[in-house]
Amino acid sequence: MFPWGGERRFNAYSHYCRTHFGGRIQKLPVDAGFSCPNRLNRTQGGCTYCANNAFSPSYLAEIKDVVSQLKQGKTFFQKRYPKNCGYFAYFQSYTNTNAPLEILRDKFEAALNMPDIKGLIISTRPDCLSEEVLDYLSGLNTRTHLTVEVGVESFHNETLTHIHRGHTVECTFESFKELCSRNISTCAHLIFGLPNETRMQWLSDVQILNQLQPQFVKFHQLQIFKNTAMEAEYRDHPERFHPLSADDYVQFLCDYLERMSPEIVIERLSAEVPPRYLAVSQWNLLRHDRLVRKVEEELRRRNTWQGVAVDVTTNCQPFVSTERSNLTNNS
Ligand code: SF4
């Protein structure tokens, strides 16, 4: 039994769902028709890797309203997992706080009124959480299981500028501080492999993640999508990229997990999109579940687990009680 009370060597989301909801919880992706301010009116067309169509199930593009999308998602997953399970409505596509409050309210309440929806996951950017939206989310948080998924991607301002994220790492810290102070659960989304970053940097950055203390994390290896600015950069400047092989990624993840707070629940360890979207093929299509098994095998071989190398008394002080100057940023 590991510190989180589970048998697996990392604090897995499936264990969290079983503990808190008594069984499997399936996320139902929703495209609520929101846009992204970074694509529309800020830096040069958005993040250089952005291919939002690759991130969302294709059926969402054809169905406009939230309720129909959720019904369709439920039908799909009921065939796949016929045993009873609950659902989260996952507002996934683009920036799901980028609309007037009354529109946000309509979409989120429509989802909440559906039977079997046990909570909402709202994915957004750190710079799209106004006071008004935060206060609304705070109220929502008292009525349902709410998680706000924040695109962190990198803890380095040079990288954020380079990939045209359109916000700073200080903005990221501020968004977590605001969400934490309202007791809203957070999920930090991180990408490993962005241009000019190195494995040593990511291993050092885990301390910042520990101090941010999101409840959940999602890790993605960098994937380069067709027809993106990053595809052109990769073609012109391959020296800026340090892709990890599948075996190296497994080793890196184990090193990272050993240093990561045992309290952070892991939603994803890698990304998986249909190969037709990829400009650069990866890992001979190593499937996500195989990668997870390899990580668990490696942790078992090392006889280590998530957080084994963390001194929780010094390294994992909650962000809300931590002065920002204490955060270590190597950028
Ligand atoms: S924040 Fe997301 S949707 Fe917006 S440009 Fe970046 S990757 Fe695309």
Of residues 7 and 318, the one with the higher pLDDT is 7
The number of folded domains in the chain is 1
Asked whether residue 256 is assigned to any structural domain, the reply reads yes
111 CA to centre of ligand 1 in angstroms:
23
* Residues 173-209: tens digit of each pLDDT: 999 999 999 999 999 999 999 999 999 999 999 999 9
Of residues 177 and 62, the one with the higher pLDDT is 177
Average pLDDT value for residue range 311-322: 55
Best substitution site from 38, 49, 98, 191 to test ligand 1's pocket, by max atoms within 8 Å of Cβ? 38
Across the chain, mean pLDDT equals: 89
Asked whether residue 8 is assigned to any structural domain, the reply reads no
Q: Whose CA is nearest to atom 3 of ligand 1?
A: 94
> What local confidence, expressed as pLDDT, does residue 243 receive?
85
At residue 136, what is the residue type?
Y
> What local confidence, expressed as pLDDT, does residue 331 receive?
33
CATH, residue 118: 3.80.30.30
Pairing of strands 25-30, 216-221: unpaired
Long-range Cβ pairs for the range 107-111 (8 Å, 24+): 107/30, 107/32, 107/66, 108/140, 110/65, 110/66, 110/67, 111/30, 111/66, 111/67, 111/70
pLDDT at 320 over 70: no
Asked whether residue 81 is assigned to any structural domain, the reply reads yes
Domain around 255 = 13-312
- Give CA torsion, residues 182, 187, 189, 192, to 10 deg: 120
